[in-house]
Chains A and B, each alone.
Chain A
Amino acid sequence: MLGLDKKDTLMLLVVTALVVFAPILLNPFPAESSMAQFNAGYPDLMQRFVIFGILAIGFNILFGLTGYLSFGHAAFLGVGSYSAVWMMKLLTMNVIPAILLSVIVAGLFSVLIGYISLRRSGIYFSILTLAFAQMSFNLAYSVLTPITNGETGLQITLNDPRILDGANAPAYPNLFGAQMNEATTLFFGGWSFTFSVGYYLCGIIMLLSFYLSIRIFRSPFGMMLRAVKSNQQRMNYTGLNTKPYTLAAFVISGMYAGLAGGLLASMDPLAGAERMQWTASGEVVLMTILGGAGTLIGPILGAGFIKYFENIFSKINEATLEAWFAFLPAGLEDFVVAIIYPFVGKGWHLTLGLLFMLVVIFLPGGLVEGGQRVAKLFRRRDRQTTDAEPDTTRQGQIPPAE
């Protein structure tokens, strides 16, 4: 289907189903129950899941395929956000032009940065991209204040010209009149599920980006990018100049980041310089590696995982813990709470860090590799019970990237 083989089609369908039913799947607990704080099915967070999913998918096209580790991807995210807000200030609150402009501007910006940074590879490339991103961050705070509005961040106001919008046009980001924050809540027994316009717009765009990334991975172009990662020397001695390939990958990946930035601004029309900070660049690296660099679905998993931790895990406070362990004798309860407390709530970074270390040490292929190992374990057990046929055809083969 759509030029994909059976396996990829299946994966695309699974991801589509997850995106469509996320408002239900992510709200497994009744709204009034004590577990309700683990519900992630509210529009703001779901939007973050898919938007950072887009960012990670794009990052993976560069890092996963060519092996070039960019430490400055947040710069494109920030540039995308600023462009989108400017479009909404000047032209219209419709998000389509805003998103298009953010992709284009981020693309141009990444041509510039990529052209210079890709003169080097390995750690030097990473440092160059990091330097560019930090430069953009600091410029946004200082000399570029007329464009970025400095520390306050760029916001929309009622006085903005918005030359394409009529007098009665909505003053909130919208898609031909449907406002991004519009939502319907469905009550079902004790459960409540919220379906918002903004989330579904982001979701559809994420699915399109995901489909495009599958096509890139499976194309001859994607094969060339993997070849760059594998052996640049052989590429050169095969008459191939690697630079156009790496630059194309860099720009595509920058445009994905710009798209993510534009969507962030479309969901919440403000843009601040902190979006470009190096910690933000580091976050997307974490997402990709945690999920599985070079795999198709890994970056989405990683993005969801980290955003869930950041927003949900961090909300577990001392009172919640005490409620959980109330059944223990008083002294023991205090002890258990004291032990667990540093790992949750404000200490969520500690858990994430430990988890990241575990993944890198034991599962270099990320969460996807973890999933594959579990699946293999089950398959092997299956085979042992059903038939003892030797599987010779599989020898020496590795499963293609998921």
Chain B
Amino acid sequence: MGILEVKNVGKRFGGLQALSNVNLSVAENSVHAIIGPNGAGKSTLLNCLVGKLVPDTGSVMFDGQSVLGRKPYEINQMGISRVFQTPEIFGDLTVMENMLIPCFAKRDGAFQMNALSRVIAQGEVISKAEEMLVDMNMANKRHMIASSLSRGDKRRLEIGMCLSQQPRLLLLDEPTAGMARADTNNTIDLLKQISDERDITIAIIEHDMHVVFSLANRITVLAQGTPLVEDTPDNIKGHPKVKEAYLGETQAA
């Protein structure tokens, strides 16, 4: 039984069946990649997991609890953090403030003003944010306005913000899209380090095969809204069906 269990999920947009009969089980502490050609339904699936979309059929269970019908912030409080395709950070705020907000929010998500308990805990929160900045190797950029960071640094910051919440499942939507090669490699190293050092499950949607094969220990191939195969990276590489549906195309091109 995995930490994330997706059963028979289907989603239709008007005349388009975006997802049908998707079954997926993500094992705890694994790095699970979901790949597939454009329009295969990867992003739709991800949106169903975080509460942005509600699937028409099926169930999504996280750690034994259904996520369906919950709002994104409630799902996050269950322990799922999401990294977006284009980094979603607080662009007007400084790097340090960006890091402080998830530290203040933590997992309880409760509404807290400058209440006494928070004033006392404030020092603790700040040192936690500092620690994460150091971990992300961004301590020297703490006073910069987040929107002025490079693409790679924005991604790094976003991942750091998600990690500071100590999520149990980290969802990444094409984390290296539009990145230079050096930034991509940095991100791969960062994610590798995270999955090695932390007690965390990572589910990743990715286009870049280089990223997928250097990170994942389990891969699901999605095509036309249904899972084609699910296997280890080595088996996927040689799988004829996958080659036909996905890898074959890219090799030919």
Contacts and interface: CB of A to CB of B under 8 A. Distances in A.
Contacts of A234: 88-90, 161
Contacts of A215: 114
Interface stretch (B2-10, B60-68, B101-109, B212-220): B101-109
Contacts of B71: 236, 241
B122 interface: yes
A239 B109 contact: yes
Nearest to A241: B73
B145 interface: yes
A261 B113 CA distance: 26
Interface residues of B, number: 38
Contacts of B104: 220, 223-224
A227 B113 contact: no
B72 interface: yes
Nearest to A240: B105
Contacts of A219: 113-114
B93 A237 contact: no
B210 to A, nearest CB: 27
Contacts, number: 96
B165 interface: yes
Contact of B93 (A230, A240, A397): A230
A239 B93 contact: no
A224 B100 CA distance: 10
Contact of A227 (B81, B84, B90, B143): B90
A237 B145 CA distance: 21
A115 to B, nearest CB: 15
Given A219-B114, A245-B111, A237 B88 contact: yes
B89 A238 contact: no
A156 to B, nearest CB: 38
Contacts of B248: none
Interface in B48-104: 50, 71-74, 76-77, 81-82, 84, 88-93, 97, 100-102, 104
A233 interface: yes
B118 interface: yes
B144 A227 contact: no
B114 A237 contact: no
Interface string A214-256: 0100011101101101110111111111001100100000000
Contact of A229 (B81, B92, B102): B92
Nearest to A228: B90
Given A227-B90, A236-B76, A220 B118 contact: yes
16 contacts: A215-B114, A220-B100, A220-B122, A223-B97, A226-B90, A227-B90, A230-B91, A231-B88, A231-B89, A231-B91, A233-B84, A236-B73, A239-B109, A239-B165, A248-B111, A396-B145
B38 interface: no
Interface string A376-402: 000000000000000000001110000
B178 to A, nearest CB: 18
Interface residues of A, number: 26
A245 B113 CA distance: 9
A202 B118 CA distance: 33
Contacts of A231: 88-91
B148 interface: yes
A397 B143 contact: yes
Interface in A97-151: none
A230 B72 contact: no
Given A219-B113, A224-B101, 5 more contacts: A226-B93, A229-B92, A236-B73, A238-B161, A396-B141
Interface string B127-148: 0000000000000010111001
Given A219-B113, A221-B113, A245-B111, A240 B73 contact: yes
A238 B107 CA distance: 8
Contacts of B88: 231, 233-234, 237
Can you list the 9 inter-chain pairs with the closest CB atoms, starting with the nearest?
A239-B76, A239-B109, A230-B90, A244-B111, A230-B92, A219-B114, A236-B72, A234-B88, A239-B77
Contacts of B101: 223-224, 227, 235, 238, 240
A396 B114 contact: no
A218 to B, nearest CB: 9
A233 B89 CA distance: 9
B76 A227 contact: no
Contacts of B92: 226, 229-230
A229 B141 CA distance: 22
Contact of A396 (B91, B97, B102, B143): B143
